[in-house]
Chains A and B, each alone.
Chain A
């Protein structure tokens, strides 16, 4: 297990390095950063001045090396738009996104697992069909539109919840539903197939034969085994939730990392953009490594590959 962990960690580091090179290059070749920083009314002398002052006149790989070495020490430079160190901005916004992410994954598990279990216990009934349609809709509904729809129903028509902002815990309700709904389908499907598989296993037949009551068979014997792959997928979904947070936080004006990303993109604020992309990729890499490790922990066959 230790060897597997070390190898997986090594891979994660390589991936992180490649992703940061890739995204750094992508942004630098998309636009001249000096022009982006100078704004629309700048003269060519202004742009030259900025180019030299910020070191944009040097070769890209030197810029990358310097940026990367500072970034891994937690120094992402100063945001030209916000006028603050980028790392302060990020630390300031992180709690909102973490709260939203945690609430959403709890919401997704809280609906996905019971729906999947019910669908497996009563296959080919109306319960199964309802959970199937929830899955199909959850997968197809565009999250920005779903946000607006919930806003229209619960904030505008019924006036139960605030339209936007991040002042109170109530502001998190609608964004949580939107983001969580995105993650329900995979969790539900995996739970359903896992349960169906285990329910036909021999040890379940034995459990029935012993005369155990249904709730013990379903929850203590079957669900325990069926839930293993769900845990790993939940970790991947957590990473996807972060990606969705950009859109959802922007719609609800929730001041988290996603909103920071959107603001920095609208203002062509390259240092902030780069930092946020790095942070998001790091979470993606971290969560998928976590998912692999969880799989390997539960299923020793994977470790020896």
Chain B
């Protein structure tokens, strides 16, 4: 009888709490470890930039223009990654650039998260016509060419950090809505939600204290993936000259400025690109990994 009661595949000897199981799965997941490592490096780069950066990222020393990185002939450790076309230290710019990318990623993900999760909760919980309306909105949003509209609006309004964050925040919410809605649909008829309703709790209380905490895992996954796309789109906009404006050391701007020297100094393009790739790769690995480990057992 005892055997029957136990769900298959579980060993009674090591009874772990769900939290411990999750922790173990995270530590065993190579992708998450690698992703965290990459992300940690970039975050440290950004946070410690004021302390560790060897030079002022905006200071131009025209005599030291276009120095190669230290390990190449003609390079020196005064400028570990060389200098750009205005004689600014490349490593310092790279470190301060990490701040911009991370800021854009987090701020955009928060704005679009608030919009998207809000719409998704409402659609999933109320269903019916409300759900149809929200899903229609999502369909409309999905048909808007994101990069094109972002480029157009940012160019017309004028590029700046705030404008880029706001525009991207308004353009990247759909994934939150799709995920929140489908999970809310699954749990809105569960017993604990029904009992909360019977107790007479207000709708907003049910949404925020009963439903929201139970879909947090899925939202975190979308949050990471939205961060990654926001960072890539910002870099692309800035690369095309329509995003954050110089002299801010956005990695997109650094790549765009390096493009002029692609024939003889390719490292000017390669270095900030590798940083960008590492950041996006780190976030994606983390997000994909979290999705793997938070899926309930047997559903992977």
Are A31 and B157 also in contact (CB < 8 A) when A144-B236, A145-B277 are? yes
The answer to whether A277 and B152 have CB atoms under 8 Å apart is: yes
A235: interface (CB < 8 Å): no
B285: interface (CB < 8 Å): yes
The answer to whether B153 and A30 have CB atoms under 8 Å apart is: yes
> Which A residues are CB-close (under 8 A) to B43?
none
The chain B residue with its CB closest to the CB of A36 is B156
Q: Which of A136, A143, A152, A266 contacts B155 (CB 8 A)?
A: A266
A-B contact count (CB 8 A): 125
Q: Which of B139, B148, B235, B280 contacts A276 (CB 8 A)?
A: B148
Residue picked from B140, B228, B259, most chain A C-beta under 10 Å: B140
> Which A residues are CB-close (under 8 A) to B148?
243, 246, 261, 276-277, 280
B151: interface (CB < 8 Å): yes
Considering only residues 122-160 of chain B, those with a C-beta below 8 Å from chain A are 136, 139-140, 142-149, 151-153, 155-157
B117: interface (CB < 8 Å): no
> Which B residues are CB-close (under 8 A) to A156?
262-263, 266
Q: How big is chain A's contact interface, by range?
A: 35 or more
B45: interface (CB < 8 Å): no
Looking at chain B's contact residues, the main secondary structure is helix
The answer to whether A148 and B259 have CB atoms under 8 Å apart is: yes
Binds A, one of B18-26, B212-220, B237-245: B237-245
> Which B residues are CB-close (under 8 A) to A262?
151, 240
Q: How big is chain B's contact interface, by range?
A: 35 or more
> Which B residues are CB-close (under 8 A) to A18?
136, 140
The answer to whether A284 and B143 have CB atoms under 8 Å apart is: yes
B281: interface (CB < 8 Å): yes
Question: Smallest distance from the beta carbon of A296 to chain B beta carbons, Å?
Answer: 16
Looking at chain A's contact residues, the main secondary structure is helix
CB-CB contacts of A8-31 with B at 8 A, as 1s and 0s? 000100111011001100110011
A106: interface (CB < 8 Å): no
Complex Cα gap A165–B241 (Å):
20
A140: interface (CB < 8 Å): yes
Q: Which of B239, B242, B263, B285 contacts A265 (CB 8 A)?
A: B242
The answer to whether B155 and A145 have CB atoms under 8 Å apart is: no
A137: interface (CB < 8 Å): yes
Binds A, one of B55-63, B105-113, B194-202, B268-276: B268-276
B-side residues, CB < 8 A to A, are: 136, 139-140, 142-149, 151-153, 155-157, 228, 232, 235-236, 239-242, 252, 255, 259, 262-263, 266, 269-270, 273, 276-277, 280-281, 284-285, 288
Could you list 15 examples of A-B contacts with CB < 8 Å?
Answer: A14-B136, A15-B136, A19-B140, A22-B140, A23-B144, A30-B156, A36-B156, A139-B284, A151-B262, A243-B146, A246-B148, A247-B236, A247-B240, A265-B242, A281-B144
A-side residues, CB < 8 A to B, are: 11, 14-16, 18-19, 22-23, 26-27, 30-31, 36, 136-137, 139-145, 148-149, 151-152, 156, 242-244, 246-247, 250, 261-262, 265-266, 268, 273, 276-277, 280-281, 284-285, 288
Q: What 10 A-B pairs come out closest when comparing CB atoms?
A: A30-B156, A145-B273, A31-B156, A280-B145, A140-B281, A140-B280, A284-B143, A152-B266, A18-B140, A285-B143
